[in-house]
Amino acid sequence: MSLKRLLSITRKEFVQIKRDKPSLVMALVVPVVMLLLFGYAVNTDVENSAMVVLDMAANQQSRELVDSFNNSNYFQVTDYVTEYRQLKYLIDDGKAKCGLIIPSDYAALLKRGGKPAVQLIIDGSDPTVARTLVSTGNLIVKHKGLQHALQVYGGLGLSFSDKNSPGIELSSRVWYNPNMESEKFNIPGLMGLIMQNITIMLTAFAMVRERERGTMEQLIVTPVRPLELIIGKLIPYVIIGSFDFLLVLTLGVYWFGVPIQGDLILLLQLAAIFLICALAIGMLISTVSKTQLQAMQMTVVFILPSVLLSGFIFPRETMPKVIQLLGTLVPLTYFLEILRGIVLKGIGMQHLKSEVIILSVFTVAVVALASLRFKKRLD
Amino acid sequence: MRESAIVTRDLTKKFGSLIAVNNLNLEVPRGKIFGILGPNGCGKSTTMRMLCGVIRPTSGTGEVLGYDIMKDSEAIKQNTGYMSQKFSLYQDLTVEENMQFYAGIYSLSNKEARKRMEKLKEMTNLRGKERALVSSLSGGWKQRVALACALIHNPKLLVLDEPTAGVDPVSRRIFWKIIHRLADEGVTVLVTTHYMDEAETCHNTAFLFSGRLLAYGSPNHLIKELKVSTLEEAFLSLVQRETGEEVEISFKSFLN
Ligand SMILES: Nc1ncnc2c1ncn2[C@@H]1O[C@H](COP(=O)(O)OP(=O)(O)O)[C@@H](O)[C@H]1O
Ligand SMILES: [Mg+2]
CATH of the domain at B29: 3.40.50.300
Cα separations (Å) of A260 from A334, A348, B50? 18, 12, 58
B71 located within any domain: yes
Give the residue ranges of chain B where pLDDT is below 70.
Answer: 1-2, 245-256
A268: in domain? yes
**Beta pairing, strands B4-15 & B18-29:** antiparallel
Percent with pLDDT over 90 in chain A: 49
In a domain, A16, yes or no: no
Do A132 and A228 lie in one domain? The reply is: no
State pLDDT tens for residues A51-104. Answer: 999 999 888 888 888 898 888 888 899 999 999 899 888 888 888 888 898 888
Q: Which residue of A has its CA nearest to B13?
A: A379
Ligand 1 atom with least separation from CA of B42:
22
Range(s) of the domain holding residue A170 = 49-175
pLDDT in tens, A167-218: 223 333 334 454 556 666 688 999 999 999 999 999 999 999 999 999 999 9
Q: A43 pLDDT band (50/70/90 cuts)?
A: low
For residue A218, which residues of chain B lie inside 8 Å, CB to CB?
A: 82, 84, 88-89, 149
**φ, ψ at A255 (rounded to 5°):** -90, -45
Q: How many domains does chain B have?
A: 1
- Tell me what ipTM this predicted complex has: 0.91
Residue B38 belongs to domain spanning: 1-79+158-166+188-256
Q: Is B255 part of any domain?
A: yes
Task: Annotate A327-353 with b (16+ C-beta within 10 A) or e (fewer).
Answer: beebbbbbbbbbbbbbbbeebeeeebe
Nearest CA of chain A to the CA of B97: how many Å? Answer: 8
Does one domain contain both A171 and A188?
A: no
CATH classification of the domain holding A53: 3.40.1710.10
pLDDT score, position A331: 95
The beta-carbon neighbor of A215 closest among B56, B88, B107 is B88
Whole-number Å distance between alpha carbons of A370 and A358: 18
Q: With cut-offs at 50, 70 and 90, classify the pLDDT of residue A44.
A: low
The better pLDDT of the pair A43, A258 is held by: A258
Residues A246 and A358 in one domain: yes
Whether A162 and A215 share a structural domain:
no
Whole-angstrom Cα distance, residue A138 to residue A171? 11
Last residue of some domain: A116, A151, A175? A175
Model pLDDT for residues A239-283, shown as the tens digit of each residue:
999 999 999 999 999 998 888 999 999 999 999 999 999 999 999
Q: What is the pLDDT of residue A105?
A: 84
pLDDT of residue B184: 96
What gap in Å lies between CA B143 and CA B163, rounded to an integer? Answer: 7
Residue B141 lies in a domain: no
Residue nearest to atom 6 of ligand 1 (CA): B15
In chain B, the residue whose alpha carbon lies closest to the alpha carbon of A7 is B104
| Residue count (chain A) | 379
pTM for the predicted model, two decimal places: 0.81
Last residue of a domain, one of A143, A175, A207: A175
- DSSP 8-state class, residue A316: G
Closest Cα to residue B30, out of B150, B158, B148, B119? B158
Q: Are residues A270 and A209 in the same domain?
A: yes
Q: Which of A122, A140, A128 is nearest to A46 (CA)?
A: A128
Query: Is residue B180 domain-resident?
Result: no
Residues A300 and A186 in one domain: yes
Which of the residue ranges A154-158, A365-369, B227-231 has the most confident prediction, judged by mean pLDDT?
Answer: A365-369
Ligand nearest, relative to CA of residue A377: 1
A378 confidence band (pLDDT: 50, 70, 90): confident
Task: Give dist(CA B55, CA B26) in Å, integer.
Answer: 18
Residue whose C-alpha is closest to residue A208's, from A278, A93, A298? A298
Say which residue, A372 or B252, is predicted with more confidence. A372
Q: Would residue B172 count as lying in a domain?
A: no
Residue A379 located in a structural domain = no
- Look at A156 and A263; give whichever has higher pLDDT: A263
Q: How many domains does chain A have?
A: 2
From the CB of residue B225, how many other CB atoms can be counted at a distance below 10 Å? Answer: 11
Closest CA to A352 of A366, A330, A335: A335
Task: Give the DSSP H or E segment for B209.
Answer: strand B204-209
> Rounded distance, CA A201 to CA A23, Å?
11
* CA A139 – CA A179 distance, rounded (Å): 10
Interface of A with B in 7-26 (CB under 8 A): 7-9, 11-12, 15-16, 19-20
Residue A229 counted as domain residue: yes
Banded pLDDT at A157 (limits 50, 70, 90): very low
Q: What is the pLDDT of residue A42?
A: 67
Question: Are A222 and A296 contained in the same domain?
Answer: yes
Cross-chain residue pair B82–A4, CB shorter than 8 Å: no
Are A258 and A337 found together in one domain?
yes
> Would you say residue A11 lies in a domain?
no
> Can you tell me the distance from the alpha carbon of B189 to that of B160, in angstroms, rounded to the nearest whole number?
7
